[in-house]
């Protein structure tokens, strides 16, 4: 028994070793790039069906026995007895794989021809497979594990290599296994057949996933190295004076080997031949920053460019680390006394950080401070720069990979000018003020100026400004020297003093007045005291003047004098004014005329025209007393009269009776004591008061009526008349004559004395609808007809009377079914209530009249045949037949036959007709005459 168990154990061990050897039949030498790389593609589910399998394609997840699908994932299949896969073998969530639910009987399930191979060449065949079943997935029953045979055959059926996997066991977690084997193509053979066979029966299990099937050339072991470097990876900084020597060795000799070194810059996805690198060594010189891969290809001579015939070494890697990138501000001069700021930017490129250091010139004593702002480094001086701080400043950086870089900037310190502002001695409101800029020359010539004050700037050296109000304004000035340095800001405050406004009132005097009194009206905004200097402009006394605020002076003769006044503020600001002053003559002559002649009514405007004169100068004042009293309401005073000026007045408020006399007293002045007065009597008649009350709107077809809305309210005797569109005689208004619209109507009343007044009202005349009941109609007994009413107007309502036998008496065109002759009246009513009517008659025809002949010859007489009133009977039909019984005309209701059929004239002769109406059928003949 012990011996038996030893035998069983030995057998199990051998089977285990055999299976692992089958699964590990992979190339131990060097491989070439894949000749075949079957990944099944990628994209959205499902993938496209394969043409290399005899199984049925299943478009969704979880295929049944004997089916397969192409998908990028599978989840919860068969009550989660399958593993859930969220990606293919390579980890691509969009990559497809082939999911197989094997058939019940063992069979070949995948056969594909592979071409483009090289004869007499050894290839590694490999595929990744997975048992989709989970542990204990068959509900206590046995699980059937996949058992596959991979076979490579020639097109004639000779087997080059065959491997059987044995049972691929279930696993608790998804487990991909690579299965591989070798085969050698016969000389001259470039195609093989790849065959996959399912050896296990169907049932619970035998479900698998397949992905990434590859054919790769397999040959001698290639060994590459970097001289002086341990391992296959070298790292250096860009720009380092370094080179490497790559070597390649072949462990077994080829009959006639050929070599080619290649380079890849995208992590091995694409390889490029290195020109001239075809020996066992290759010398590499420093390159720009990046990752570089290198490998050597080996093949029998003549096959080096064939993907299917060559092998490749494991890649060598050279990592060229980037140096930090330093950017400094351009070297510009700095000015003595300013804070020195140097800004630099360090980009570490392929490391997140590093170290750096600033170096100052030998005489520099600046304390440098760092402020980190992302990849920007701002260096600030701890004190104002001095001349000794001139020189080169150098920024050195070392990346985290140890790569160094440096950059320098030269700082030149220059002398600065000193600016100052020259203010004016006095600045007054409303006058031009000048300010000047000056600067020391220790920094060289001045190249420019920068003025600033509230809301304004300037680059001029001198400013000419005008200020419209008193204020205190701050000015700032910076001078720019030709060496580029600016001065400190000079400041000064300009005080703008209030400007006085000179003014005075001139008296109205004549030669005999004792003196002329001038009244000062000068002002100043800040209220400070003013000084006065009067000039009277008297040629007889040129020095005549005064320093009083209000001055007096007596002139010895009439004339026009230039009187001037100069006022000066406490700050010294002055203002001056000159006015022409007239000394009038002592003998004014009053005179006036009335523009109103003839009848004067109390509602009229009496217009007085000034015609007064003086022997020299001007009339200075007029007083008009319209009722010879000093009541201000009945008096006009003019302090600035002139010849021809007019003055209106209305007497209506002063009237006491039908007629009244008034005395006008007219007084003219040429000075204080020089005056003349005139009087004139006028007669004024009472004006009437016309009134007119509102007139109600009415329709245009309303009858004419007598207007009675006008009256006179004052009780005066006289005559009233009406005026306006539609008015005839003196009081008759006809709305039809006036027409639709708004019309002003006036009532004019004239007194027996001739005074007149007018009142007015507007009357609205509404338009009347235009209505037609249509032509008289006839209808066959038992029939119906549509009344052809029409009307013009907006928003109209309609009414047919009587409503007997009408479908709807409130519509414009109702359907009528009269049983006897009847007259209908159509009335249209507008929204304003205006209406108009029209009448028509419907005649009921008891017998159907059918014409027995017609002559369609175009002479205008009986050119067509029609049965009258037939259209009024619903469902009525008319048919006409020729002598052969052929239907040549048909109509329902109204229709005219022109003697034609299908567009052609019919011959003259007898035609038979049939008329159906009201359940009756009438037959007869009609003669067609040509």
Taking residues 319-323, what's their average pLDDT? 94
Decide if pLDDT at 10 tops 60: no
Can you tell me the distance from the alpha carbon of 23 to that of 176, in angstroms, rounded to the nearest whole number?
11
Residues 417, 479 contacting (CB under 8 angstroms): yes
Banded model confidence at residue 12, pLDDT cuts 50, 70, 90: very low
Give dist(CA 248, CA 316) in Å, integer: 11
User: What mean pLDDT is predicted for residues 344-369?
Assistant: 80
- Structure tokens of 582? 């007239």
Least confident of 203-207, 334-338, 642-646, 749-753: 334-338
Q: For 240-244, 476-480, 521-525, 794-798, which range has the lowest pLDDT when averaged over its residues?
A: 240-244
Place of tokens 């060795």: 249
645, 652 contact by CB (below 8 A)? no
Average pLDDT over residues 66-95: 92
Q: CA 168, 171, 177 angle in degrees (round to 5)?
A: 50
Question: What is the mean predicted confidence (pLDDT) over 204-232?
Answer: 90
Contact 346, 326 (CB under 8 A): yes
Direct distance between the N- and C-terminal alpha carbons of the chain, in angstroms, rounded to an integer = 133
Location of structure tokens 């009847």:
822
Burial class (CB in 10 A: 0-12, 13-18, 19+), 611: middle
Q: What is the pLDDT of residue 901?
A: 93
Q: What CATH number belongs to 21-219?
A: 2.60.120.260
**Cα–Cα distance measured from residue 74 to residue 174, given in angstroms and rounded to the nearest whole number:** 12
CA distance 322 to 403: 7
pLDDT, tens digit, 9 for 90 and up, residues 235-284: 999 988 889 999 998 876 567 888 999 999 999 999 999 999 999 999 99
Q: Which of 20-34, 338-352, 474-488, 652-666 has the lowest mean pLDDT?
A: 20-34
Q: How confident is the model at residue 9 (pLDDT cuts 50, 70, 90)?
A: very low
Q: What is the mean pLDDT of the chain?
A: 89
Each residue's pLDDT tens digit, 157-214: 999 999 999 999 999 899 999 999 989 999 989 899 999 999 988 778 889 999 999 9
In the numeric block, which tokens belong to residue 657? 């009776």
C-alpha span between 608 and 588 (Å, rounded): 18
The pLDDT of residue 591 is: 95
User: CATH 2.60.40.10 spans which residues of the chain?
Assistant: 240-321, 325-414, 420-492, 504-584, 588-685, 770-845
Given this model, what pLDDT does residue 16 score? 33
Beta strand pairing call for 177-184 and 97-101: unpaired
- Give the CATH H-level superfamily of domain 504-584: Immunoglobulins (2.60.40.10)
Q: Can you tell me the mean pLDDT for 856-884? A: 90
Collapsing DSSP to helix, strand or coil, 403 comes out as coil
The CATH class that applies to domain 770-845 reads mainly beta
- Answer yes or no: is pLDDT of 381 > 70: no
Q: Which of 711, 714, 718 is nearest to 693 (CA)?
A: 711
Token pair for 332: 């510009």
- The DSSP bridge pattern shows strands 316-321 and 233-237 to be parallel
CA dihedral 880, 886, 891, 895 (to 10 degrees): -50
H helical segments located in 149-237: none
DSSP conformational letter for 489:
P
Sheet strands side by side (includes 281-285): 222-226, 243-250, 281-285
- Quote the tokens at residue 787: 């009344």
pLDDT band at 13 (very low <50, low <70, confident <90, very high): very low
Q: Characterize the bridge pairing of strands 790-792 and 770-772.
A: antiparallel
DSSP states of 437-485: EEE-STTSSEEEEEEEETTEEE--SEEEEE-SS-EEEEEEEEEEETTSP
Model confidence band, residue 389 (pLDDT cutoffs 50, 70, 90): confident
Residue 370 has a pLDDT of: 60
Is the bond preceding 898 in cis, omega lying within 30 degrees of 0? no
Q: CATH classification of 240-321 is 2.30.30.100, yes or no?
A: no
378 pLDDT band, cuts 50/70/90, is: low
CATH fold label, 420-492: Immunoglobulin-like (2.60.40)
755: pLDDT strictly greater than 50? yes
25 vs 816: which has the higher pLDDT: 816
> What pairs with residue 661 in β-bridges?
683
When the candidates are 1.25.10, 2.40.128, 2.60.40, 3.30.70, the CATH number that belongs to 695-766 is 2.60.40
Q: Round to whole Å and give the CA distance between 76 and 132.
A: 11
The number of beta carbons lying within 10 Å of the beta carbon of residue 786 is: 13
Pick the CATH number of 325-414 from 2.30.30.790, 2.60.40.10, 1.10.390.10, 3.40.190.10: 2.60.40.10
Planar angle of CA 753, 759, 760, nearest 5 degrees: 150
Q: Tell me, what's the pLDDT at 5?
A: 29
787 with 772: CB under 8 angstroms? no
Please state, in angstroms and rounded to a whole number, the distance separating the CA atoms of residues 518 and 523. 16
* R_g of the chain computed on alpha carbons: 63
Would you state the pLDDT for residue 372?
Answer: 55
If one compares 379 and 298, the residue with the highest pLDDT of the two is 298
Dihedral angle over CA of 488, 489, 492, 496, nearest 10: 160
Distance CA 879, CA 889 (A): 6
pLDDT at 589 over 70: yes
* Bond preceding residue 149 cis, omega within 30 of 0: no
Q: Which of 123-132, 866-875, 900-909 has the lowest mean pLDDT?
A: 866-875
Selection from 663, 667, 588, 590 nearest residue 622 by Cα: 667
Contact in structure between 785 and 872 (CB atoms under 8 Å): yes
Give the fold, CATH level 3, of 853-928.
Immunoglobulin-like (2.60.40)
CA distances from 623 to 516, 631, 654, 679, 682 (A): 22, 12, 19, 12, 18
Residues 6+ apart with CB under 8 A from 293: 263, 264, 265, 267, 268, 315, 316, 317
Alpha carbon of residue 772 to chain centroid: 57
CA dihedral 73, 76, 80, 81 (to 10 degrees): -40
Give the model's pLDDT for residue 265: 94
Residue 604: name the closest of 614, 596, 612 by CA. Answer: 596
Contacts 24+ apart (CB under 8 A), 882-889: 882/906, 882/909, 882/911, 882/912, 883/909, 883/910, 883/911, 883/912
Specify the pTM: 0.43
Identify the pLDDT of residue 855. 94
Per cent of the chain over pLDDT 90 is 66
Please give the residue that has the higher pLDDT: either 596 or 590: 590
Residue 24 has pLDDT above 80, yes or no: no
Please name the fold of domain 588-685: Immunoglobulin-like (2.60.40)
Q: Pull the structure tokens for residue 109.
A: 């399930």
Q: Which helix (H) or strand (E) holds 18?
A: helix 2-23
For residues 160 and 120, give the distance between their C-alpha atoms in angstroms, rounded to a whole number: 12
Q: Is the separation of the CB atoms in 292 and 318 below 8 Å?
A: yes
Asked whether 93 and 85 are in contact (CB, 8 A), the reply is no
Residue 495 pLDDT exceeds 60? yes
State how far the alpha carbon of 439 is from the alpha carbons of 70, 236, 417, 424, 916, in Å: 88, 59, 6, 17, 123
Mean local confidence (pLDDT), 382-398: 81
* Dihedral (CA of 271, 272, 274, 277) sign: positive
> Among 33-42, 498-507, 533-542, which is the least confidently predicted range?
33-42
């Amino acid at each position: 028994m012990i011996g038996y168990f030893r035998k069983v154990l030995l057998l199990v061990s051998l089977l285990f070793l055999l299976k692992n050897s089958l699964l590990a039949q992979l190339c131990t030498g060097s491989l070439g790039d894949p000749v075949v790389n079957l990944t099944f593609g990628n994209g959205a589910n499902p993938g496209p069906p394969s043409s290399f399998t005899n199984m049925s394609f299943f478009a969704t997840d979880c295929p049944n026995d004997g089916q397969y699908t192409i998908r990028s994932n599978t989840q919860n299949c068969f009550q989660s007895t399958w593993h859930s896969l969220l990606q293919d073998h390579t980890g691509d969530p969009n990559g497809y794989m082939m999911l197989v639910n094997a058939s019940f009987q063992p069979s070949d399930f995948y056969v594909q021809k592979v071409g483009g191979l090289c004869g007499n060449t050894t290839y590694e065949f490999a595929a990744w497979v997975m048992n989709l079943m989970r542990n204990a997935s068959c509900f206590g029953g046995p699980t059937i594990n996949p058992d596959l045979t991979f076979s490579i055959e020639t097109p004639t059926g000779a087997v080059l290599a065959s491997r059987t996997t044995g049972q691929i066991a279930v696993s608790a977690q998804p487990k991909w296994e690579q299965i591989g084997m070798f085969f050698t193509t016969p000389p001259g053979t470039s195609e093989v057949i790849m065959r996959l066979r399912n050896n296990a029966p169907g049932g619970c299990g035998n479900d698998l996933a397949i992905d990434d099937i590859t054919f790769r050339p397999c040959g001698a072991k290639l060994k590459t190295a970097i001289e002086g470097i341990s391992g296959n990876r070298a790292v250096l900084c860009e720009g380092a004076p370094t080179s490497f020597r790559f070597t390649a060795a072949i462990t077994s000799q080829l009959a006639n080997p050929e070599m080619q070194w290649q380079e890849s810059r995208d992590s091995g996805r694409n390889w490029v031949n290195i020109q001239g690198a075809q020996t066992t060594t290759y010398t590499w010189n420093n390159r720009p920053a990046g990752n570089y891969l290198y490998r050597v290809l080996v093949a029998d001579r003549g096959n080096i460019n064939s993907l299917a015939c060559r092998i490749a070494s494991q890649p060598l890697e050279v990592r060229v680390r980037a140096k930090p990138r330093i950017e400094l501000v351009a070297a510009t001069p700095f000015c003595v006394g300013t804070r020195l700021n140097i800004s630099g930017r360090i980009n570490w490129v392929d490391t997140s950080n590093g170290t750096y250091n600033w170096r100052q010139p030998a005489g520099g004593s600046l304390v440098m401070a760092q402020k980190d702002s992302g990849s920007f480094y701002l260096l600030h001086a701890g004190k104002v720069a001095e001349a000794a701080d001139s020189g080169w400043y150098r920024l050195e950086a070392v990346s985290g990979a140890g790569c160094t870089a440096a950059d320098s900037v030269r700082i030149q310190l220059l002398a600065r000018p000193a600016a100052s502002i020259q203010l004016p001695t006095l600045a007054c409101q409303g006058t031009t003020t000048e300010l000047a800029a000056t600067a020391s020359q220790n920094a060289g010539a001045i190249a420019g100026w920068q003025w600033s004050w509230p809301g304004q700037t300037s680059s001029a050296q001198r400013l000419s400004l005008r200020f419209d109000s008193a204020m205190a304004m701050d000015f700032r000035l910076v001078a720019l020297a030709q060496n580029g340095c600016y001065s400190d800001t000079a400041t000064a405050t300009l005080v703008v003093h209030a400007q006085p406004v000179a003014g005075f009132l001139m008296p109205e005097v004549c030669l005999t007045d004792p003196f002329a009194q001038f009244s000062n009206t000068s002002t100043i905004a800040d209220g400070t005291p003013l000084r006065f200097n009067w000039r009277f402009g008297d040629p007889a006394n040129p020095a005549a003047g005064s320093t009083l605020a209000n001055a007096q002076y007596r002139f010895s003769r009439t004339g026009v004098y230039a009187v001037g006044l100069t006022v000066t503020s406490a700050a010294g600001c002055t203002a001056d004014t000159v006015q022409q002053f007239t000394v009038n003559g002592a003998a004014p002559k009053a005179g006036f005329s009335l523009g109103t002649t003839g009848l004067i009514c109390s509602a009229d405007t009496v217009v007085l025209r000034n015609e007064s004169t003086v022997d020299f100068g001007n009339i200075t004042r007029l007083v008009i007393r319209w009722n010879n009293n000093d009541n201000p309401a009945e008096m006009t005073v003019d302090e600035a009269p002139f010849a021809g000026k007019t003055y209106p007045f209305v007497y209506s408020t002063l009237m006491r009776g039908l007629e009244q006399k008034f005395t006008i007293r007219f007084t003219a002045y040429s000075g204080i004591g020089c005056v003349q007065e005139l009087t004139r009597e006028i007669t004024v008649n009472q004006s009437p008061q016309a009134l007119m009350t509102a007139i109600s709107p009415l329709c245009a077809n309303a009858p004419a009526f007598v207007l009675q809305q006008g009256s006179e309210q004052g009780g005066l005797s006289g005559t009233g008349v009406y005026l306006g569109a539609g008015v005839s005689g003196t009081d008759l208004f006809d709305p039809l004559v006036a027409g639709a619209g708004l019309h002003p109507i006036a009532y004019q009343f004239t007194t027996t004395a001739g005074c007149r007044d007018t009142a007015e009202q507007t009357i609205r005349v509404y338009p009347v609808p235009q209505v037609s009941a249509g032509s008289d109609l006839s209808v066959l007994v038992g029939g119906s007809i549509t009344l052809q009413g029409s009307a013009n107007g907006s928003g109209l309502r309609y009414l047919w009377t009587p409503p007997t036998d009408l479908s709807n008496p409130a519509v414009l065109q109702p359907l009528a079914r009269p049983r006897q002759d009847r007259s209908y009246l159509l009335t249209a009513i507008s929204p304003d209530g205006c209406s108009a009517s029209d009448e028509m008659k419907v005649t009921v025809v008891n017998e159907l009249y059918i014409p027995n002949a017609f002559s369609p010859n175009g002479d205008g007489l009986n050119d067509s045949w029609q049965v009258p009133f037939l259209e009024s009977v619903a469902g009525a039909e008319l048919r006409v037949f020729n002598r052969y019984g052929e239907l040549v005309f048909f109509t329902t209701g109204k229709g005219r036959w022109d003697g034609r059929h299908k567009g052609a004239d019919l011959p003259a002769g007898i035609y038979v007709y049939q008329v159906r109406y009201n359940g009756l059928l009438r037959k007869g003949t009609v003669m067609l005459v040509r």
